[in-house]
Structure 1
Amino acid sequence: MWLEFFLSVSNKCTFTGPASTDDIIAVEKQFGVKLPEEYKGIILETNGVKESYELGLIWSLERVIEENLRYREQFFKTYYMPFDSLLFFAESGIGDLFAFPIINQIVCKEDVFVWNHDDDSRRWVAPSVSKYVEWWLNGCIKI
């Protein structure tokens, strides 16, 4: 279902094999959050989606862990507001990252925000992962 959705938006998407429920549980435990249902459905079908230029449209869960741990290190705390309220899952290709909002240890909405690495702003861009994919690939999201 999700592979067909991605390909209906862009025929340049490439996919990796699916993640397991245990992989999802590991991410949820690592960051003490509950991931959005739509996102889990995507990850259970493909553990990562790339688009043209190898852009990480949806990161693998391994990369989600790696990048989110990196952005929570002391170096970034020196220059930016804390990232504990965001769970990054994708990249723009120019340094900005897409994330789910975290409130009280819960990804409380399916909404997607973009973090701007230049000015440290965080801005709403889509009501769900599927809309983020559609709007990003169709050029509706401007960053």
Structure 2
Amino acid sequence: MTLTDFVNLVTETEQTHPVWFDLNADKTASDRAIVASQQSLGLRFPNEYVQFIKKYGGGYFAFSIVYSLDNASDFNIIEINKRKSSLHKNYFLFSENGCGDFYAFKIVNNCCLPEVFFFDHEISAWSKTNYKNLFSFLSEVALAHS
């Protein structure tokens, strides 16, 4: 799914289900904040994540949460990844399901791959999902409820 496809889906969903977007989102990320964060972490974010945080910020997003670069947020991606470092050696957490499980991008050669991985806390194991990128993940997890 491309950014254009995703934006169109979000716009349509906001029109048909505006209440899904009533919770305040985190602040959008600037290019400067994105570059500084990537340099600080020593890794590169997937393009879809960068596009998402620049347009939507993060935090509450319909039926999901996307970690953001907003320093004032409870969903700050850098702080969460520091706190949860013991469970994600080669993964960069970007979301959770509220039940102790996490969604992440796998890190290879200091680059986050676009594919989405899932951490099941009950068995302490990672598995690859069918989501090719953040947009396909959010289209099903955050926006596909009727």
TM-score normalised per structure 2: 0.75
Amino acid corresponding to residue 134 of structure 1 in structure 2: S
Contact 2:29–2:57 (CA under 8 A) maintained in structure 1: yes
Equivalents in 1 of 2:61, 2:52: separation in Å? Answer: 15
Contact 2:105–2:116 (CA under 8 A) maintained in structure 1: yes
Match status 1:136 vs 2:146: no
Tell me which residue corresponds to 1:87.
92
Equivalents in 1 of 2:11, 2:95: separation in Å? Answer: 18
CA displacement 1:73-128 (0-9 Å, x = unmatched): xxx3xxx5xx2311111111111111001012111x21011111121111122111
Tell me which residue corresponds to 1:97.
102
Contact 1:17–1:45 (CA under 8 A) maintained in structure 2: no
Tell me which residue corresponds to 1:8.
12
Equivalents in 2 of 1:9, 1:113: separation in Å? Answer: 25
Tell me which residue corresponds to 2:48.
38
Tell me which residue corresponds to 1:111.
115
TM-score normalised per structure 1: 0.76
Equivalents in 1 of 2:50, 2:9: separation in Å? Answer: 15
Which segments of 5 or more consecutive residues in structure 1 lack a partner in the other structure?
none
Q: Which residue, out of 81, 84, 93, partners 1:71? A: 84
Tell me which residue corresponds to 2:67.
59
Amino acid corresponding to residue 59 of structure 1 in structure 2: Y
Which segments of 5 or more consecutive residues in structure 2 lack a partner in the other structure?
none
Return the offset for 1:41: 0.8
Tell me which residue corresponds to 1:23.
33
CA displacement 1:22-45 (0-9 Å, x = unmatched): 111122122211111111111111
Equivalents in 1 of 2:59, 2:29: separation in Å? Answer: 12
- In the alignment of these two chains, the number of paired residues is 128
Amino acid corresponding to residue 50 of structure 2 in structure 1: K
Contact 1:96–1:114 (CA under 8 A) maintained in structure 2: yes
Amino acid corresponding to residue 41 of structure 2 in structure 1: F
Contact 1:9–1:134 (CA under 8 A) maintained in structure 2: no
Return the offset for 1:4: 4.8
Runs (4+) of structure 1 exceeding 4 A deviation are 1-4
Amino acid corresponding to residue 34 of structure 1 in structure 2: R
What is the percent sequence identity of the aligned residues?
A: 22
